[in-house]
């Protein structure tokens, strides 16, 4: 018989503070009273304390113990604010990536003989409807929006048969009613269907961006565990070239891209640079990136003066931004 699962009791704010003190987390830059109020009013304890994984633990008798060397509660608060502002920035960039990916598909399809913008969508929807493993997954997703006021004009034009099979949706409207994840799957099908093999490497990058988008949309922390090596896949040659131009060599590239979150953020910076063609959008985002990175991120730089991990991550992204996003830096 399995042992009973012992549920951890919910901690009071005072108990949370004591628990942090037991881990040698200080309250010098921010008092215990201020920290307690911040936890009660602004942040989830477990979300906030997850940032501690970016700090060094004490090393005693040839092993690490669950106490931290140089960590103040204020550092955790600062990282949580940086993370929040980064999520807002990344969300905006990913929305732009999604929009310009749709435009790219529409540009490509115009040059395909005998493709009217209906045929490829009909084929794709037919495959989905008759999929032997997961039939009608996309159909069901689309039809969930049938009563959505934002899509009422599109759905009013559709003829849906008794079997709830979708067809004859023009691609310019189809792209409006699918999610970003569904868009990437359709893009993969589209590239293979029409032999755009030189673009297939985009798919692996976009899949990782979808994962980051989902994390951002659900307000998940993205700057925790930056030292974990959990991704050993080699980046494609275009990303390598993007990083080479930033002065990032093989060893640093390998070291940083082995962390999934660092890789995903790198991919957003790369793909935005590749896809977005509007000078106005690029200028706006460049200003936001520069303000965030060269002002807000380093507002309390003294907190991290002994943190080699966070310094190295900052310098890695600084090289990318200095190379690919510094056009308007002097005007920010």
pLDDT band at 164 (very low <50, low <70, confident <90, very high): confident
For residue 6, tell me if it sits in a domain. no
For residue 308, tell me if it sits in a domain. no
pLDDT digits (tens, 9 = 90+) for 240-286: 999 999 999 999 999 999 999 999 999 999 999 999 999 999 999 99
For residue 156, tell me if it sits in a domain. no
Q: What is the three-class DSSP state of 63? A: strand
Number of domains in the chain: 1
pLDDT band at 328 (very low <50, low <70, confident <90, very high): very low
For residue 181, tell me if it sits in a domain. no
Task: Retrieve residue 141's tokens.
Answer: 């997703």
Q: Which residues contact 69 (CB under 8 A, 6 or more apart)?
A: 24, 55, 56, 57, 58, 306
- Residue 145's pLDDT is 83
d(CA 98, CA 104): 10
For residue 187, tell me if it sits in a domain. no
Measured in degrees and rounded to the nearest 5, phi and psi for residue 72 equal -110, 150
d(CA 181, CA 211): 9
pLDDT band at 1 (very low <50, low <70, confident <90, very high): very low
pLDDT digits (tens, 9 = 90+) for 169-209: 999 999 999 999 999 999 999 999 999 999 999 999 999 99
For residue 53, tell me if it sits in a domain. yes
Taking alpha carbons only, the member of 15, 121, 112, 235 closest to residue 244 is: 235
For residue 44, tell me if it sits in a domain. yes
For residue 35, tell me if it sits in a domain. yes
DSSP 8-state symbol, 29: S
Tell me which residue range forms the domain holding 28: 13-74
Question: Dihedral of CA 248/251/255/260: which sign?
Answer: positive
- Residue 75's pLDDT is 98
Measured in degrees and rounded to the nearest 5, phi and psi for residue 136 equal 65, 25
């Amino acid at each position: 018989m399995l042992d009973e699962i012992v549920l951890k009791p919910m901690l009071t704010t005072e108990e949370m503070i004591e628990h942090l003190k037991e881990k040698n987390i200080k309250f010098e830059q921010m008092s215990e009273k201020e920290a307690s109020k911040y936890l009660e009013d602004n942040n989830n304890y477990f979300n906030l304390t997850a940032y501690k994984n970016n700090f060094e633990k004490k090393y005693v008798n040839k092993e690490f113990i669950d106490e931290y060397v140089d960590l103040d509660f204020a550092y955790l608060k600062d990282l949580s604010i940086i993370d929040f502002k980064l999520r807002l920035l990344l969300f905006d960039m990913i929305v732009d990536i999604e929009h310009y990916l749709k435009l790219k598909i529409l540009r490509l399809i115009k040059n395909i003989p005998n493709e009217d913008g209906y045929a490829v969508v009909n084929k794709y929807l037919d495959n989905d409807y008759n999929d032997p493993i997961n039939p009608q997954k996309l159909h069901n997703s689309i039809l969930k929006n049938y009563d959505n006021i934002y899509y009422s004009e599109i759905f009013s034009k559709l003829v849906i048969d008794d079997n709830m099979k979708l067809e004859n949706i023009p691609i310019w409207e189809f792209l409006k009613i699918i999610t970003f994840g569904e868009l990437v799957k359709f893009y993969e099908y589209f590239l293979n269907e029409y032999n755009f093999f030189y673009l297939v490497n985009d798919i692996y990058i976009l899949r990782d961006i979808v994962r980051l988008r989902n994390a951002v949309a659900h307000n998940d922390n993205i700057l925790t565990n930056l030292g974990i090596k959990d991704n050993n896949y080699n980046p494609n040659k275009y990303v390598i070239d993007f990083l080479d131009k930033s002065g990032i060599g093989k060893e640093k590239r390998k070291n940083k891209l082995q962390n999934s979150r660092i890789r995903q953020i790198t991919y957003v910076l790369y793909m935005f640079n590749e896809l977005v063609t509007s000078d106005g959008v690029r200028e706006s985002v460049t200003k936001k990136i520069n303000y965030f990175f060269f002002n807000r991120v380093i507002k309390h730089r003294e907190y991290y003066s002994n943190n080699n991990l966070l310094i190295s991550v900052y310098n890695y992204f600084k090289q990318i931004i200095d190379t690919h996003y510094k056009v308007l830096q002097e005007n920010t």
